[in-house]
Structure 1
Amino acid sequence: MISVQNLTLSLEGQRVLKDVSTTLPDHGITAIIGPNGAGKSTLLHSVAALRAPDSGSVTLNGADIHATPAAERAKLLAILTQSQPQIPRLTVRDLVAFGRWPHHRGRPGPEDHALVHAAISQFELHRIESAQLDTLSGGQRQRAYVAMAWAQGTPYMLLDEPLSALDPRVSRSIMSRLHQISRPGRDTRAVVIVLHDLQIAAQWADYVVALKDGELFAEGIAGSVLADAPLSALYDSEISVRPLDDGRIAVLT
């Protein structure tokens, strides 16, 4: 599992994370939620060693992730940030194949080709695998990038607001696949995802980490954090949570 201990981090002289300690499970979907400016993306980037902390540590199975060589880290963590490069004439298959680079370093073998094929199948990209990225819709592109992260074959997938600006149908499609690959099994992945949509968190998350003003506000199984009192205090706004007939919950803001 990923352990964050007393993490403090500043950006451009401003304290963004303040003594944050949390544990990210090695299974299921963990949603990182909180108001704008809470430090959600910064926490995810620090876990991926994209941002060095002022103090504190991030360890994966006891090893300091910031001290782990990048080549080894890329076999442990796949990170998908909010901003993705738009490379002309790059096809969906080419993009997904980039996920295998940490393993083959330019010499792909049968296993790499098989995992690229599996990623295209997993995220239903068959019909567009030869299409160039700049010809696709935003939802299709995002699905391709998530497939690339899956193809990387890491125990953890770290996704920074991958549903931003996507319509409900596309968001549901992506989350359904993330839920499927995060269930127990031989190829299970732990998914850590920054979310703004509380209803999506309520529907799909197993565990929730809530940040406010750069500090850990609450964490625990989804039902313990996604409740009236914690959410209302987290967002300084009246929020109600109601059970649905199918066992899920509805978040009313």
Structure 2
Amino acid sequence: MLVLVTGASAGFGEAIARRFVSEGHQVILLARREERLRGLSEELGEGCVKVISCNVADIEKIKSELGEYAQRIDVLVNNAGLALGVESFDVCLREDFEEMIETNILGVVRLTHYLLPFMVERGSGHIINLGSIAGNYPYPGGNVYGGTKAFLKQFSLNLRADLVDKNIRVSNIEPGLCGGSEFSVVRFKGDQKRADELYENAYPLLPQDIAESVYWVASLPAHININSMELMPTTQAFSAFRVCKKP
């Protein structure tokens, strides 16, 4: 398989790329940080056929860089995404929610829209989106981030409805609390201490766990489609309803 992984320079994306290459597949790495991509590419050796350094929402550059590879991609892993801030929506920063929308939604739909016709023409392919339990369950401060992941959930289901007669698989992976990546450091605007405290003694999921779930979904027999997969660490469960009593 030829697999395009977005957000591949660290965390989930790096682990996903490593997992596919370990099984003899080839990957294209896409992320913003060229130096980290180059380092990972050197480690992966012949398993990495191309590196693309750009913002995932910059579809024109991606088209130019992909070239003829676009017609050969078997699996698109839409992993690039981020959360910024945990403030209530009335006080959050507009630039934060606009960046989340651009990356988590526009980046996904633009790249999927570009590559999907090639898959349809070939009669095979698999779109794997990295959603989140934040798209299923609300929590304070999750406003726009949760909204983007809820979009991914519904987008994935509607893609399947569109493609049911095209032999194209679509899956949405929905992780819960996950450490070992830069996710919370980015969300907390570089506050490493705050990020570390979130995961302390919580035994969260790790990027390797997400990579395993993505690889499993992609490696199932072609007649099986996993619509969605929700996974949490055993230390995480559902919240109780909250009632705010006014004086």
TM-score bracket relative to the smaller structure: 0.3 to 0.5
Task: Choose between structure 1 and 2 for higher RCO, CA contacts under 8 A separated by at least 6 residues.
Answer: 1
TM-score by length of 2: 0.35
Bigger helix fraction? 2
